[in-house]
Amino acid sequence: MQTDSSFTFVLFGGTGDLSMRKILPALFEAHRAGGMLADSGKIVAVARHAADRGEYLQWVNEHVKPHVSKNGVDEAAWTSFLARIEFVKIDLGNPEDFVHLRDAIQDLPGIRVFYLATGPSLFVPICHALASVGLNENARIVLEKPLGYDLKSSNAINDAVGEIFAEEQIYRIDHYLGKEPVQNLLALRFGNALFEPLWRREWVESIQITIAEELGVEARGDFYDNTGALRDMVQNHLLQLLSIVAMEPPHSMDSDSVRDEKLRVLRALKPIDPNEIGKVAVRGQYHAGGIRGTAVPGYATEPGVKPDSTTETFVALKVEIENWRWAGVPFFLRTGKRLADRVAEIVVNFRAVPHSALGASALRAGANRLVIRLQPNETIRLYCLAKQPGEGMNLASVHLDLAFDKFFREGQMEAYQRLLLDVIRGRLALFVRRDEQEAAWRWVEPILNEWKTSTKPPKPYAAGTWGPAAASAMLAQHGTCWLEEEN
């Protein structure tokens, strides 16, 4: 894809972990591909931990290079990429320093993109400082999660940013929306006559959405202990995936058409009754255990975590959508740290046939199933029943695969690469609109409030397992189980 759109990409938090692992590698891949970024486009890193451009480029060489190009770095492309990068030393706590940024970029052509890869406490001060030097015009601003701690704090940030930037200038990023299988889910549903007629309560028995991590809190103990899995993963990633799975067909793929339909799903979520939370929500916290043969500590002994912490590292939820398409269909959401595997997937369990002339195997749960794997290997797999070779009518489960890396010759685009290109080109469809965010916070708040005041600690689970037994029991009450338990 060619573009002649010039841009200036200003990266706040230019020496931070997110910039090193995701943002700069994504920009490099777009640069290396050729034609995706205008030749005149510039990247301006903003930080206070480097003395000058030379020292910053040395930092980039040391910390970014290991995260780019799985098959090795093209040195010529790397050298030309570094030529795009400028550096401005700024103390973000001193608004007067932003004059230096204005002077550095005021003569650069094209749209300005301000990417705030910082803590949310800096979002509002940065926006005010940009406005004070006139840099909020002809600009787009990208806000990383978490955007607030609850609905009130989220609204406060959105109100303050909205005074400086119009809603169409604000890009609230959720990188799961940029993943290739999520995009293919839209293509699968709305581009094929086969699936859309089945995508409803008459034919779908249940849906599972899982985001599981093997890692613990790593060096983020201080942050995570004040956040927890519900805020960190459910309010954004899981509810966004849910809205994509359950949305009605938009009239087009323009930004507001897609986001309007997602919003309708979020507003149709059955409100959580505080008295019923114990039946529809499970919170857990990992204890010491083993991951692939390596012993790992429990959450309460991680650096930065309070020894008596009741912060959840695991959440499982039963969710219902109160509309004609999905009434009565349970959606099971699950996320956790220190689980048995690193996986993100959507599992659509179709109902069994109403009557089988082929034996009981045709009536078993999960006989017909669609599994959309988001990570680590991005695939879509359709399970169905087929006759086994030989005598008799014996059925066995078989599957049809869409493995993107095998079917398409061109390499897949990483989520951050797609989203950053969309920001530069002014495409908002894959970014979260304010009303979506408010609806998600509003739905999770009863759970947050109940767990905040609860005297019951999170349910323990050993690191390296799939979480508390209560999460499996919740599904068993509905006659089903998590995918890995069936296998």
CATH number for the domain harbouring residue 261: 3.30.360.10
Choose the final residue of a domain: 95, 119, 144: 144
Residue 399 annotated as part of some ligand binding site = no
The answer to whether residue 260 is domain-embedded is: yes
Residue 222 annotated as part of some ligand binding site = no
The answer to whether residue 426 is domain-embedded is: no
The backbone torsions φ and ψ at residue 69, rounded to the nearest 5 degrees and listed phi first, read 50, 90
Q: Is 123 found in the same domain as 258?
A: no
Q: Is 185 found in the same domain as 102?
A: no
The whole-angstrom distance between residue 426's C-alpha and the CA centroid of its chain comes to 20
Q: What is the mean pLDDT of each run of 10 residues along the chain (487 residues)?
A: 74 93 94 89 92 92 86 86 95 92 93 94 94 94 90 95 96 92 86 89 96 91 92 95 96 91 97 92 96 93 94 97 97 98 95 74 73 86 82 77 69 87 94 96 95 93 97 94 87
Any idea which residue has 């590698």 for tokens? 25
Residue range 170-192, pLDDT digits in tens: 999 999 999 888 888 888 888 88
- The pLDDT value given to residue 404: 64
Residue 478 annotated as part of some ligand binding site = no
Q: Is 257 found in the same domain as 110?
A: no
Q: Is 139 found in the same domain as 71?
A: yes
CATH number for the domain harbouring residue 104: 3.40.50.720
The answer to whether residue 473 is domain-embedded is: yes
The answer to whether residue 73 is domain-embedded is: yes
Q: What angle do CA 124, 150, 315 make, to 5 degrees?
A: 130
The answer to whether residue 68 is domain-embedded is: yes
Residue 232 annotated as part of some ligand binding site = yes
Residue 145 annotated as part of some ligand binding site = yes
Residue 103 annotated as part of some ligand binding site = no
Q: Is 274 found in the same domain as 328?
A: yes
Contact (CB, 8 A) for 173 and 203: no
Total tally of structural domains belonging to the chain: 2
- The pLDDT value given to residue 1: 40
The answer to whether residue 418 is domain-embedded is: no
- Long-range contacts, stretch 157-161, CB < 8 angstroms, 24+ apart: 157/120, 157/123, 157/124, 158/434, 158/437, 158/438, 160/123, 160/124, 160/127, 160/128, 161/123, 161/124, 161/127
228: left (phi > 0), else alpha (psi -120 to 50), else beta? left
Q: Is 472 found in the same domain as 378?
A: yes
Q: Is 383 found in the same domain as 279?
A: yes
Residue 355 falls in the annotated catalytic set: no
Q: Is 370 found in the same domain as 227?
A: yes
* Sign of CA pseudo-dihedral 214, 18, 312, 302: positive
Say how far apart CA 359 and CA 362 lie, in whole Å.
6
Residue 18, domain extent: 7-144
Q: Is 121 found in the same domain as 208?
A: no
- The pLDDT value given to residue 410: 65
Q: Is 189 found in the same domain as 79?
A: no
Residue 175 annotated as part of some ligand binding site = yes
Question: Catalytic pick from 63, 237, 355, 399?
Answer: 237
Concatenated DSSP letters for 158-212? HHHHHTTS-GGGEEE--GGGGSHHHHHHHHHHHS-TTTGGGSSTTTEEEEEEEEE
What tokens does 196 get?
A: 């859309």
The answer to whether residue 324 is domain-embedded is: yes
Q: What count of other Cβ atoms lies within 10 Å of the Cβ of residue 156?
A: 14
Say how far apart CA 261 and CA 167 lie, in whole Å.
18
Say how far apart CA 378 and CA 344 lie, in whole Å.
9
Rounded to two decimals, what is the model's pTM?
0.92
Q: Is 137 found in the same domain as 191?
A: no
Q: Is 205 found in the same domain as 68?
A: no
- The pLDDT value given to residue 2: 42
The answer to whether residue 149 is domain-embedded is: no
Choose the final residue of a domain: 144, 168, 193: 144
Choose the final residue of a domain: 126, 144, 162: 144
Task: Say if strands 111-116 and 139-143 run parallel, antiparallel, or are unpaired.
Answer: parallel
Contact (CB, 8 A) for 80 and 42: no
Residue 92 annotated as part of some ligand binding site = yes
Strands (E) across 260-406 are located at 281-287, 289-291, 294-296, 314-319, 331-336, 343-350, 369-375, 379-387, 395-403
Q: What count of other Cβ atoms lies within 10 Å of the Cβ of residue 138?
A: 10
What tokens does 49 get?
A: 């931990």
Say how far apart CA 77 and CA 33 lie, in whole Å.
9
